[in-house]
Amino acid sequence: MSLNLKKYTIITGHYGSGKTNFAANLAVKAAKSGEKVTVVDLDIVNPYFRSADFGKLFEQNGISLAAPIYANTNLDIPALSFNIEEFLSADGKVIIDVGGDDSGASALARYKQFLSAYSDDIEGIYVINMYRYLTGTAEDALEFMREIEAASGMVVSSFVNNSNLGEETTAEVIEKSSAYADEFCSLSGLPLRFTVDTSGKAAVKNRFEAEIYVKKIWEN
């Protein structure tokens, strides 16, 4: 499967949508295809399930990671400790994992002017999950996406259906979400970029086979 990534891929979605696990899978697949990849963790609000958790995985695959200094510590302070513009200027592909609500997404708004110079080479991806609280309907998912767009200054250009039940996900669970994804597509006018399949055998549109990299809190 060809990823056809632009220079910048900005990934956002509601808490629990699986956006960070998707971002990690996208980064690994891009790296394995021969791309030079940098992941920027802009999820400065949520201390759990963030891109910084995958430091070892990224290192093994030659992926650069920019993460807040307090990530993966008990001091999860909403502050950046690196020069993001340096990482945004990196060669190759840059994948940006943005916070999962309007407060978290506002971190991206600080770099709107810098990113505007690359507007033709940015893809904003919104991750949806019908099995998560507050995004169980396509209407709810769309409302939440509009809030993130307003807070971050980003424009979503496609969406990923990542409907899952964690380790209990089966092919049937994923396939049942197809109607939900179709409705979201109709309401938003956005194209379906991928349907994430962690079961390895779901019959769905634009199938994106993925691993579950996110660990439970007690496994960290």
pLDDT tens, 161-211? 999 998 899 999 999 999 999 999 999 999 999 999 999 999 999 999 999
167 lies in which domain range? 8-219
* pLDDT attached to residue 216: 56
**Is residue 2 a part of any domain in this protein?**
no
* pLDDT attached to residue 50: 57
Helix/strand/coil (H/E/C) assignment for every residue in 162-195: CCCCHHHCCHHHHHCCHHHHHHHHHHHCCCEEEE
As to burial, measured by CB atoms within 10 angstroms (0-12 exposed, 13-18 middle, 19+ buried), residue 217 is: exposed
CB atoms within 10 A of CB 140: 17
- The backbone torsions φ and ψ at residue 116, rounded to the nearest 5 degrees and listed phi first, read -60, -25
- Does residue 104 carry a pLDDT above 90? no
Please count the structural domains in the chain. 1
**Is residue 23 a part of any domain in this protein?**
yes
Cα–Cα distance, 117 to 95 (Å, whole number): 17
169: domain CATH number is 3.40.50.300
**Is residue 56 a part of any domain in this protein?**
yes
Q: What is the pTM of this model?
A: 0.88
**Is residue 3 a part of any domain in this protein?**
no
pLDDT tens digits, 128-162: 999 998 899 999 999 999 999 988 888 999 999 99
pLDDT tens digits, 37-48: 999 888 765 555
**Is residue 63 a part of any domain in this protein?**
yes
The structure tokens listed for 3 are: 């990823």
